[in-house]
Amino acid sequence: MKRLSALDALFLYMETPETPMHVASLTIFKPEAPSDDLFARFRAHTAARLDLLPSYRRRLESTPLGLDHPVWVDDQPDLDYHIRHAALPKPGGMEELRALVAQLHAVPLDRTRPLWEYTFIEGLEDGAFAVYVKVHHSAMDGVAGMATIGVIYDFAPQSGEERAPRRLVSPDPEPVDGIEIASTAIGDFVRQGFRAVASLPSVARALTKTAPNFVRDAKFLYSYVKDMPRTPFNAAISGHRVFATASLPFAEIRAVARSRGATVNDVVLALTSGALRRYLSERGALPEKPLTAGVPASVRPRGDAQLNNQVIFTVSKLPTDVAEPLPRLAAAKAAGEEAKALFSDLREFVTTNVSIIGAPLAIMGIARLWAGARAANYVWPFFNLVVSNVPGPREPFYCVGAKATHYFPISIPFHGGALNLTVQSYLDTLDFGLIACSETVPDAQRIADLIVEDFAALRAADAEAARPDFVTSIAVALAAKPPATHQPIALGEAKPERAAAHERKSPLGREIDGLAQATEALRRRLESRDADVADAAAQPDRPVAKGRRSAEPAEPAPEGEAPKQRPPEAARARKAPARSRQAGLAPKS
């Protein structure tokens, strides 16, 4: 017997008919050849792996009178119930597949059985098939769900080459009766008091560690609450769902992130912001202030294979108030850094196991009262939507020999948060799964399509910003002053010591060098011409004939002697008298 932690049990207490608390995934597989027995093979394959997944072989048992959190007890699953078969009218496309998944995701899991279901979906175009996996969030979080891939699926197309799957946790003990469950609940409550006292030193250490940041964190959270706008997503919801998908090349997203000094998660937040900005603007509902995203963050230690929830929520601004792609990415990066600082402080106080007598009944009562009163329509939201990024497998996996091509995550909308956007990487693709209330966000696929369009705009803006500015290059070359020993280089020539370096440059670099040399030669020619013009302007009395300067007029000679011609140098030394004679003034005797 294993009792649920407080965090695991919280997903049970918050569940209402309109907000089933299960998470899911949709994986698309492409067989190399058509086959008529895919479902039979899949069912047999899954049944053979159940011994390695104890969470698939247990169900919930509540404590008497709701004294404490429920416990897991062993149960033998009915495979005809848990492994289901569906088919789309051939050839089924993504639109039909999304509609079917939305219907499947709207149905709550049966708490009297193990809390999981698999639906094998055939009929997709090109012979592909899909597997929809639904598991209650009380049983595992997104990171834990990723661990089941290596158990249910294979990492090689042929069974003879596959790695042996690893058991995630040890098997549960035999079932126990109600008396033992009740006595254990009371014992846990008593022990919880001792554990609370024993934990005081660690709490004191956490307070000491985070005290310097208390004012900063308080201001940070207050600014989020104060500035948070209300959107159409922040309303009470129904139990009907709509599912949307988008896929982007992971390598290109990572390249843009690196060129901007950002992370992949920053790019995801920026793309989400850009898509929501356009979506809300098209509907006349774009607020002036930026939206806020609730961002789940895992606190699971590395190597922890327990299939429970180890996650906390932090918040991050979505720069929906920024119009251009690159500034929007910069704003998303800054918001992400703020959120990380808050997260580092919050994780110091994370606890996953608190037992309080009567807590189940109290929390369930509050959840039902909140849903029945549709309070989300009036109460200000904690955040506008949930955006989650879950790292996926970096190697291909297979189902009955067929390779997985896409792996879409599907999460939970709730009262006050009608839209949930979860992202998961797989191989070279980033797959987006959007799940929403169909009455509040009926056209969720429009948001998914806008994410793809916004990435195209971001990629184009990044490429444009990376191009060299030729005007700036020329201006820099003109402004550069050559060293004193610099000698002009004729066009088409290069100094020997520069030739090798010139050849090593890229074509674009050589083109820039050529432009700089041509500009330098032009500058020197213009300087030489300006000097000649200035010299001529300083001597306006020197007529020019046939390209030669005229001789200076002769000086008056004494009576009886021939006039003397003044040498050109002497004439230039006596410019003023020469100008006076040209003006008709007689020289002094």
- Give the residue ranges of DSSP H helices in 347-411: 359-372
Residue 414's nearest CA partner among 22, 5, 104 is 22
DSSP per residue, 533-568:
HHHHHT-TT--EETTEEPPPPPBPPPTTSPPBPPPH
- Give the residue ranges of DSSP H helices in 211-307: 214-227, 250-259, 264-282
DSSP per residue, 139-171:
T--HHHHHHTHHHHSBSSSSTTTPPPP---SPP
**Separation CA 168–CA 53 (nearest Å):** 7
Per the DSSP assignment, residues forming a β-bridge with 298 are 311
Residue 91 preceded by cis peptide, ω within 30: yes
Q: Indicate left, alpha or beta for 427 from its phi (over 0: left) and psi (-120 to 50: alpha).
A: left
Query: Measured between alpha carbons, how far is residue 362 from residues 61, 438, 456, 475 in Å?
Result: 18, 30, 49, 73
Query: Measured between alpha carbons, how far is residue 96 from residues 26, 88, 93, 409, 571 in Å?
Result: 13, 7, 6, 17, 101
Strand order in the sheet with 398-399: 83-92, 116-124, 129-136, 22-30, 402-410, 398-399
User: Mind listing the domains of the chain with CATH numbers?
Assistant: 2-465 (3.30.559.30), 470-536 (no CATH)
**Separation CA 404–CA 128 (nearest Å):** 10
Cβ–Cβ < 8 Å for 235, 376: yes
pLDDT of residue 486: 47
The structure's pTM equals 0.73
Task: Decide if 415 is catalytic.
Answer: no
Burial grade of 500 (CB within 10 A; 0-12, 13-18, 19 or more): exposed
Residue 318's nearest CA partner among 281, 348, 275 is 275
Q: Which residues of 149-182 are buried (b: 16+ CB within 10 A; e: fewer)?
A: bbbbbbeebeeeeeeebeebeeebeeeeeeeebe
CB count in 10 Å sphere of residue 570: 11
pLDDT of residue 6: 76
* Helices and strands counted in the chain (H then E): 19, 17
Q: Is 383 helix (H, G, I), strand (E, B) or coil?
A: coil
pLDDT of residue 226: 72
Per the DSSP assignment, residues forming a β-bridge with 22 are 136
Query: Tell me, what amino acid is at 122?
Result: E
**Separation CA 52–CA 46 (nearest Å):** 10
pLDDT of residue 581: 43
Strand order in the sheet with 58-61: 2-3, 71-74, 58-61
**Separation CA 273–CA 288 (nearest Å):** 13
**Separation CA 304–CA 366 (nearest Å):** 33
Cβ–Cβ < 8 Å for 387, 272: yes
pLDDT of residue 509: 63
**Separation CA 21–CA 9 (nearest Å):** 11
- Cα-Cα-Cα-Cα torsion 434, 440, 442, 447, nearest 10 degrees, comes to -40
Burial grade of 24 (CB within 10 A; 0-12, 13-18, 19 or more): buried
Per the DSSP assignment, residues forming a β-bridge with 242 are 436
The first and second tokens of residue 572, run together, are 């230039």
Using alpha carbons only, give the angle 41, 108, 43 rounded to the nearest 5 degrees.
5
CB count in 10 Å sphere of residue 585: 10
Q: Indicate left, alpha or beta for 556 from its phi (over 0: left) and psi (-120 to 50: alpha).
A: beta
Cβ–Cβ < 8 Å for 290, 318: yes
pLDDT of residue 582: 42
The first and second tokens of residue 213, run together, are 């940041």
φ, ψ dihedrals at 454, nearest 5° = -70, -35
**Separation CA 385–CA 234 (nearest Å):** 8
Tell me which H or E stretch contains 429.
strand 429-437
CB count in 10 Å sphere of residue 194: 9
DSSP letter for 86, please: E
Q: What is the mean pLDDT of each run of 10 residues along the chain (589 residues)?
A: 79 91 96 89 93 89 76 91 94 95 98 96 94 91 69 78 47 52 57 55 57 61 76 96 98 96 96 98 96 79 54 84 97 86 56 53 74 81 91 90 96 95 95 98 98 97 80 56 49 50 57 71 74 65 48 49 50 45 43
Catalytic residue among 105, 137, 406, 415: 137
**Separation CA 549–CA 538 (nearest Å):** 15
